[in-house]
Amino acid sequence: MSGRRSHPRYAVATPWNGAMRVLRDVSIQRTEGDGLQAVSHVPGIAGEDMTLDVIGAGTTLGLKVRVIDSRPVMIEGAVRHRIRLALVNVADDAAVRAVTEVAAVAEAM
């Protein structure tokens, strides 16, 4: 019976780094300054980095954002979550402004 208890029964593998993409529909609003605000069915996690795909005016932008905070709110009798977001890349701010201007012109027509 030598080696019975000291023999390794399993090996712990080194975990892999990865990313998971979960698509959720949100409503986006621009806030004062350089922030964005999203209203979602699920809460955000403060400090989490994510990609926000903004679709409008015939274009799609993938913005790198960070969750600042998330608070529950009542909207039309249902609990939603208001998530404050900060743009991670400064270049994204110019892109958001351009899409916002194009969308405003398209709505006016």
Q: Which residue has the tokens 């964005």?
A: 36
Model confidence pLDDT, tens digit, residues 48-80? 998 888 777 777 878 888 999 999 999 999 999
Euclidean distance between the first and the last CA atom of the chain, given in angstroms as a whole number? 85
User: Residue 99 — very low, low, confident or very high, per pLDDT cuts 50/70/90?
Assistant: low
Domain ranges of the chain: 27-108
Please give the structure tokens belonging to residue 89: 């890349």
User: Residue 95 — very low, low, confident or very high, per pLDDT cuts 50/70/90?
Assistant: low
Give the model's pLDDT for residue 25: 85
Q: How far from the centroid of its chain's Cα atoms is residue 29's Cα?
A: 14
107 pLDDT above the threshold of 50: no
What's the sign of the alpha-carbon dihedral 102, 66, 18, 39? negative
Average pLDDT over residues 79-108: 69
